Amino acid sequence: MSTDVEQISIWGDKIGPLYFVSAELAIGYWLFAFFSAVGALQWVAARYHLAGLALFDLRQHRRRGYPLGLALVLGGTAFFFLWQWGPIFAPGPAGSELAVLFGASGIAALILTLAGSALLGNLRHPPVKQKVLAELGPLIPVGHAQGRWIEPLPEEQTDAAHSQAPLPALCLLPADRESEVVLAVLGRRLAREGRVLLLIHPDDNAYTFPAALAILPAAVSVLARRPEVDPNRIAVLGEGAGGDLAIRSASTAKDVRAMVAVAPILHEPPVGLGLLHELTFPQAIRWARDTVRAELVKWLDAGTYAAKVPPKPALVIYGSEDRLADRTALASGAGLELRTVAGLGHRYLAGHPAVMSIINDWLKEHL
């Protein structure tokens, strides 16, 4: 035992009123509890679909969480008991010391899991590149907001004939800066088919209620001024909170021919651990603190106004794994065409190839 006491001299014999007996035993137990806690979190992430806690790819391989969790608990146990088998059966730290060690390991496990999940999530799904926006050109004024043109490609560069000018046009309403990049990618895809697009820049000042309601009329006016645009074939497309804005704006805009809402939120999810179903921890913190979006969604009340969009053609698309939007709030929106894409979540939905194809085909038919 004397050697054990010497070994903890790195801390002194005691830390405050706590006496850990042996540094090796304390460190061993801390690691055992740490790996077990990480294992428990992986099991829980797999069982309850918490992407923000998963160190594995929850979307692709959810069931891997169970063996991973079990392996961490068993591995931690084996490591501790094989390393410290002798000291385990000698007088060791008391319950209060063990509680402190478990508490510290639990907190460390949670921090590492949340950070690791965010890091691995970024590696698996790299954030969309901002350079896409730079390639589009400078911002232009659109009423009190701003936007960028996405020009139709010349016909010889496309695989679809679109010589029949005047061309249809779309106003794109993103949810936030990341959504703006996603819609830029979608916009370039739609422009290949001979459409003129105006991508609104999601500025916090413009995205407040009721100022946001003036964006679509201003965009329609800007689009209609272009000689190649057919003013009777202008549509609006929004993603996330931009989808809510698209629904609300289209419900009153007479000069809008069709509406597409991709994953409109309709009803904000409660802030808390539930956000980790869809988001990493840093994303969830940003989401929870984004009161501008929360207020906008609340005031837009798109679930109620959805019923007023028809008889205009209207398409609403959701991912089946979307936990940030409340599609049940759309019950009043009879007459809308609702599509659910299996296996997809809320974020970046508009940038998914399957969703881009659905939108493109639907616009060909209705615009």
CB-nearer residue toward another protein: 260 or 279: 279
- The least distance separating another protein from the CB of residue 161, rounded to whole angstroms, comes to 50
Euclidean distance between CA atoms 91 and 352, whole angstroms = 59
Task: Write out the binding residues for another protein, residues 239-258 only, by CB under 8 A.
Answer: none
Q: Taking CB under 8 A as the criterion, which residues in 93-122 touch another protein?
A: 93, 95, 98, 102, 106
Does 53 participate in binding another protein (rule CB under 8 A)?
yes
Alpha carbon of residue 74 to chain centroid: 33
C-beta closer to another protein: residue 227 or 270: 270
Could you tell me the two tokens for 359?
Answer: 């939108």
18 vs 354, beta carbon nearer another protein? 18
At residue 56, φ and ψ (nearest 5 deg) are -120, 170
One-letter amino acid identity for 248?
A: R
Q: Which residues are paired to 19 by β-bridges?
A: 14
Among 8, 22, 43, 240, contact with another protein (rule: CB under 8 A): 43
Smallest separation (angstroms) from another protein to the CB of 36? 5
- Contact by Cβ (8 Å): 23, 87: no
Per-residue contact string for residues 11-40; x = within reach of another protein by CB under 8 A: ------------------x--xx--xx--x
Selected from 78, 160, 273, 331, the binder of another protein by CB under 8 A is 273
Considering only residues 58 through 77, tell me which ones interact with another protein, judged by CB under 8 A.
73, 77
48: left (phi over 0), alpha (psi -120 to 50) or beta: alpha
Verify binding: residue 143, another protein, rule CB under 8 A: no
* Minimum CB–partner distance for residue 265 and another protein (Å): 16
- Does the N-terminal peptide bond of residue 311 adopt cis geometry, omega within 30 degrees of 0? yes
Q: List CB contacts of 190: < 8 A, sequence separation 6 or more.
A: 150, 170, 197, 356, 359, 360, 363
- Comparing CA positions, the residue from 237, 256, 182 lying closest to residue 360 is 237
Closer CB to another protein, residue 4 or residue 203? 4
CB of 182 to another protein, least distance (A): 23
Tokens of 290: 């984004």
Minimum CB separation of residue 60 from another protein in Å reads 21
Rounded Cα distance between 20 and 13, Å, is 8
Interacting residue with another protein among 20, 56, 207, 281 (CB under 8 A) = 281
Could you say which residues in the range 160-189 bind another protein, by CB under 8 A? none
Q: Report which secondary-structure segment, H or E, holds 53.
A: none
Q: Considering beta carbons, is residue 47 or 144 the nearer one to another protein?
A: 47
Phi, psi for residue 133 in degrees, rounded to 5: -70, -40
What residue has token string 């969604």?
A: 297
Residue ranges that bind another protein, judged by CB under 8 A: 29, 32-33, 36-37, 40-41, 43-45, 47-48, 50, 52-53, 73, 77, 80-81, 88-93, 95, 98, 102, 106, 270-276, 281, 284-285, 288
